[in-house]
Amino acid sequence: MTTTNKPATIGQLRASGYRVLSVKEEMRKNLVHKIRAGEELFPGIVGYEDTVIPQVENAILSGQDIVLLGERGQAKTRIARSLINLLDEETPAIVGCEINDDPFAPICKACQLRVAEEGDDTPIHWLPRDRRYGEKLATPDITIADLVGEVDPIRVAEGRYLSDELTIHYGLIPRTHRGIFCINELPDLAERIQVGLLNIMEERDVQIRGYKVRLPLDVFVVASANPEDYTNRGRIITPLKDRIGSQIRTHYPRTVEHEIEIMESESVPFSAEGIETVFPQFMKEIIAEITHQARRSTDVSQRSGVSVRVSVTNYENVMSNAVRRAIRLKERQAAPRISDLSAVIASTTGKIELDTIGDAREEKVVERLVKQSINRVFREYFDISDFDQLVAGFDRGLSVHASDAQPAMEYVNQLGSVGGLKAAVAKLNGHGSPATIASAVEFILEGLHLNKRLNKDELDGHQSEYRR
């Protein structure tokens, strides 16, 4: 339908033959269409193609509400928000209705009275799908008034009785009638509020200040929760747990490649006039590996998880450190180096929780994770025996300085004097610019140090010397 010929009243809508579907029927219909057309259902969701997404599809096809179980930073909210793509682009609703009532079957008292009075002349409008999504972060101080509704004292003051349904000011869930409602961290709701949500989902009865209201709401509910809290022993009432159709376990990216893909898509691009930015592949792998090492570390609490946001913010900070150097040194290209990894301290320490006994400091834990990550990536690119010629040069008294403030050309000048280094840089695709050569040289030197082939002396807060 075009804008000019869309039905504008209930009578015109009925004459057009339009059929109003329930939310779950509508989502099922559009999901089937997208699957047949081979369309991507959740753009930007990486690594869930064979795990989470098929379970979400099954739940929608079955008409079941969903709870997404997972630690922080596992795209639970993004999945919930993406579900609006399974709604029709527009749907008809009665003009002026607080809860977007179905023109053919209004459930609020005001619309029922209006339709009884105006009949087929009752005006309607077309509601876009982005206005059919509601979301709330569960906190212990949430009230029934927030989610369901409350008696409006202004309407009472206008002369209505407390027992009059027209005195009700509806909450978030009724205002998402005929749409998708997401509640994040469901177990954080107080038990009495969980009971109210249970009534909404199952019995369709709610009580507002002692006044019983029948609200046959048409809502697709999607919730998120931490797995530890969402148990019969946790902070969730069993009857509510039983009413949610599908329990779907999310997870962190299982490969470094997926982590990198998310880093690149989620990071804020850095633009500095006159400076070209290059992020070497091995540096991306190190950034991603830091997060993967943290998720396996016994020093880090795995109950709270290590969000993918750690990778994203580390990626941004390391690039920013490289750009800052290029600006100060008036270089035209910026490429992150090993010495830039000091920037991940600030973007990691606030996002991990330690699980150690004693006085372990976050900074020391992060530094250890960084070293482990560099070494792991280095071993994927090289065998230590590849550098016998290079190490022999250091045995003859050679030393190399590295610093996050050192001009890239100084690394280029050292390249020719160190036997075996040029071939290793080429293996990293480092040739092409001074910035990428500098990045490759630092990676090789640090890898040899971590494998005990070179010594490393910290000369000051920013400069290091590699020697035998």
Give the model confidence (pLDDT) of 400-456 as tens digits. 888 888 999 988 887 777 777 888 888 898 887 899 999 999 999 999 999 999 998
307-340 pLDDT per residue, tens: 999 999 999 999 999 999 999 999 999 999 999 9
DSSP string, 3-17: TTTS--BHHHHHHTT
CATH 3.40.50.1370 assigned to domain 10-249? The reply is no
Look at residue 360 in the predicted model and tell me its pLDDT: 59
At 358, the pLDDT band (50, 70, 90 cuts) reads low
Quick one: tokens of 292?
A: 């993967």
Look at residue 195 in the predicted model and tell me its pLDDT: 80
Look at residue 20 in the predicted model and tell me its pLDDT: 93
Question: DSSP class of residue 272?
Answer: B
The mean pLDDT of 338-356, rounded to a whole number, is: 89
Look at residue 372 in the predicted model and tell me its pLDDT: 97
DSSP string, 171-203: -HHHHTTTEEEEEESGGGS-HHHHHHHHIIIII
Look at residue 357 in the predicted model and tell me its pLDDT: 59
Closest CA relative to residue 447, chosen from 408, 421, 414, 417: 421
Quick one: tokens of 29?
A: 């219909």
Closest CA relative to residue 467, chosen from 414, 385, 393: 393
Task: Say yes or no to pLDDT of 205 above 60.
Answer: no
Alpha-carbon distance 66 to 245, whole Å? 6
Alpha-carbon distance 314 to 267, whole Å? 9
Look at residue 206 in the predicted model and tell me its pLDDT: 57
Task: Say yes or no to pLDDT of 282 above 60.
Answer: yes
111-153 pLDDT per residue, tens: 888 999 999 999 999 999 999 999 999 888 888 778 877 766 6
Alpha-carbon distance 306 to 73, whole Å? 7
Burial class (CB in 10 A: 0-12, 13-18, 19+), 91: buried
- In percent, the amount of the chain with pLDDT more than 70 equals 90
For residues 156 and 440, which has the higher predicted lDDT (pLDDT)? 440
226-238 pLDDT per residue, tens: 888 776 556 788 8
Instruction: Tell me where in the chain the CATH 3.40.50.300 domain(s) lie.
Output: 10-249
Task: Say yes or no to pLDDT of 458 above 90.
Answer: no
List helix spans (H) across 158-308.
172-175, 191-198, 238-243, 256-266, 281-296
For the CA atoms of 52, 55, 60, 63, the dihedral, rounded to the nearest 10 degrees, stands at -140
247 forms beta bridges with 67
Please tell me the pTM assigned to this model. Answer: 0.85
290-306 pLDDT per residue, tens: 999 999 998 898 888 89
157-166 pLDDT per residue, tens: 565 555 556 6
